[in-house]
A and B are shown apart, each in its own frame.
Chain A
Amino acid sequence: MKTASRIKLRRNATAYFFLSPWLLSFLVFGLFPILFSFYLSFTDTGMLDMNPVWRGLDNYIHVLKDKDFLKSLWNTLYFVIVTVPITTVLAMILAVAVNSRIPGKVLFRVGFFMPTITSIVVVSMMFMLLYAPSGILNAILDLLHLPKVSWLLDVRTALPSIMAMSVWTAVGFYMLMYVAALQSIPKELYEAATTDGAGLWTQFRMVTLPHLRQMSILVIVMNTINSLQVFSEVFVMTKGGPLNSTKTIVLYMYNISFSNLQLGKGSAVAYLLMVFILIVTVIQMGLLRINKGVGE
């Protein structure tokens, strides 16, 4: 008995030695910040005032009543509702096309994946150039004798312009996830379908689509989570303007924390965002699973 427990102790010691870099990092940069942030969200902590007073739910109430926050929430939701379906459908179509027997597959993969590895700041710069008042898009409109558009400077077009860029950026990544799913579909299914005289569209509906269901859930949930956290592109391109028309939840959080220096409120926004992401994810997974049940 004694030796058994000693062996176990030694085994644990070795294992924890190997785990130690992560354990340390997890405690200091993971667990502690998560808990501390929760505490901060109930205090009036400011950037320069480190003697926080407990305020209960004040921060949450203040934020939820703040018109700016509600505007950011709406903008973010709008962003998700428009970009996620478009990106998903485009990614699926492109994946089916790229996965078919065509020459130059590598070229297409590289081309569509390129934005994923490009810094979002660089992507934002490229699109600011496209959207510039005297930039290429307006030059094209001019050529077609259409009125010029102020893209990022107009309340009506600023957010849609950034959403278009976001679709451009994300579509290749999700396309390749769909390609991976397509490649796991057994070839025999298509052969059987062809023998049964099923046309291309029927094959797509009866064989391809059902096999992409799992991946679609993943793509939609991942893309939604990412889109709910949209920040860098807005920060670089518009700083939330004009007139808060492109302000998102994370930009609101950044501003309230690092411009207004209200860290307590900022933490409350972070926690609201987390809860919000959790709710949306659970709802989506539930809905998509139910759909699956109905479909079968």
Chain B
Amino acid sequence: MALRNNVRSAVIFVLLLFPLALMFFPYLYMISMSLKGDGMLIKTLGDIIPHKITLQNYVDVLSSGPFGTYFFNSTLVAVLVVAGNVLFGSMVGYAFAKMDFTGKNVLFLAILATMMIPFQVTLIPIFLLMRELGWIDTYAALIVPSLVTPMGIFLMRQYISTIPTELIQAAKIDGSTEFGVFWRIIFPLAKPALGVMIIVQFLSSWNNFINPLILTNSEKMRTLPIGLSLYKGFNAIDWVHLMAAACVATLPVVVIFILFQKYIIAGMTSGAVKS
């Protein structure tokens, strides 16, 4: 019986290697292309592995092109969006998890409703609003609308609900204000959920495409995904540099993912399930 189980596991393992290879192949192909020294498109299968490995493409992309700026913009926007969600998400999540107030149910329904409505519906008015405010092509346009998101509130509410109410009551008897409770009890105890939030919000901001596409129009304000897609437009056949740039854009995400894969998977799938 045990032997049969082992044979079965071995067979499944081997069968799974094929789809796994399909998953990894495009990444490896991208990396290989970014290291190629001759700048030519692959003509035969043997060319998958570069004949002459060079880092020159990376040097070109980071020094001569505007990719340094894109990288800075993506990082700045993602960091501030994460910071906003950490603070505001836990504040609002705390209120929904532990406070009683008039209109709680209606407001919670409003959060659910905004999660259900496709974002395309808000796209044009937000564009017009940003134009009225003079925020087109500024960091504010990329950051402010994402500072507090329904998904972040949801995540924090779920987690803070599991913190024992007695802790809060005890602190209040000791004379702590609501803000003191939040700052000294809820915030530190919510660290696991905050970890998930930081990662998920960072990824979604880093990879966001449509917002920076419509809300920025100058090269100095573009984020990496927009920069990449336009780079492609201008140099359709310059694969080696394009792939080097794509690798640069992907590297931080992959590093974060491999370090925190357990939390990321838990956070993203549970976030999706709850929404």
Instruction: Give chain A's interface residues, CB within 8 Å of chain B.
Output: 8, 11-12, 14-16, 18-19, 21-23, 25-26, 28-34, 36-37, 40, 94, 97-98, 100-104, 106-130, 132, 134-136, 139-140, 142-143, 168, 172-173, 176-177, 180, 218, 222, 225, 229, 231-232, 235-236, 250, 253-254, 257-258, 263, 266-267, 270-271, 273-274, 277
Q: Do B30 and A129 have beta carbons less than 8 Å apart? A: yes
Q: Do B207 and A119 have beta carbons less than 8 Å apart? A: yes
Q: Do B117 and A120 have beta carbons less than 8 Å apart? A: no
User: What residues of chain A lie closer than 8 Å to B107, measured between beta carbons?
Assistant: 19, 23
Q: Which of B61-69, B121-129, B162-170 contacts A (4 or more CB under 8 A)?
A: B121-129
- The 8 A CB mask of B113-135 against A (1 = contact, 0 = none) is 01001101111111011000000
Given A21-B148, A273-B120, check contact A139 B273 (CB 8 Å).
Answer: no
Q: Do A271 and B9 have beta carbons less than 8 Å apart? A: no
| Cα–Cα, bound, A284→B33 (Å) | 43
Q: Do A37 and B95 have beta carbons less than 8 Å apart? A: no
B206 CB to nearest A CB, Å: 7
Q: Do B128 and A125 have beta carbons less than 8 Å apart? A: no
User: What residues of chain B lie closer than 8 Å to A143, measured between beta carbons?
Assistant: 44-45
| Cα–Cα, bound, A89→B253 (Å) | 28
**Quick one: which of B33, B101, B102, B111 has the most chain A CB within 10 A?**
B101
User: What residues of chain B lie closer than 8 Å to A12, measured between beta carbons?
Assistant: 101-102
A32 CB to nearest B CB, Å: 7
Instruction: Tell me the dominant secondary structure on chain A's binding face.
Output: helix
Q: Do B209 and A263 have beta carbons less than 8 Å apart? A: no
Instruction: Tell me the dominant secondary structure on chain B's binding face.
Output: helix
Q: Do A126 and B13 have beta carbons less than 8 Å apart? A: no
User: What residues of chain B lie closer than 8 Å to A18, measured between beta carbons?
Assistant: 91-92, 94-95, 99, 178, 182
Given A22-B92, A126-B26, check contact A273 B45 (CB 8 Å).
Answer: no
User: What residues of chain A lie closer than 8 Å to B129, measured between beta carbons?
Assistant: 28-29, 32-33
- The 8 A CB mask of B86-118 against A (1 = contact, 0 = none) is 011001101100011110000100110010011
Q: Do A270 and B254 have beta carbons less than 8 Å apart? A: no
Q: Do B120 and A121 have beta carbons less than 8 Å apart? A: no
| Cα–Cα, bound, A88→B253 (Å) | 26
| Cα–Cα, bound, A243→B155 (Å) | 43
User: What residues of chain B lie closer than 8 Å to A173, measured between beta carbons?
Assistant: 268-269, 272
Q: A249's closest neighbor in chain B, by CB? A: B120
B47 CB to nearest A CB, Å: 8
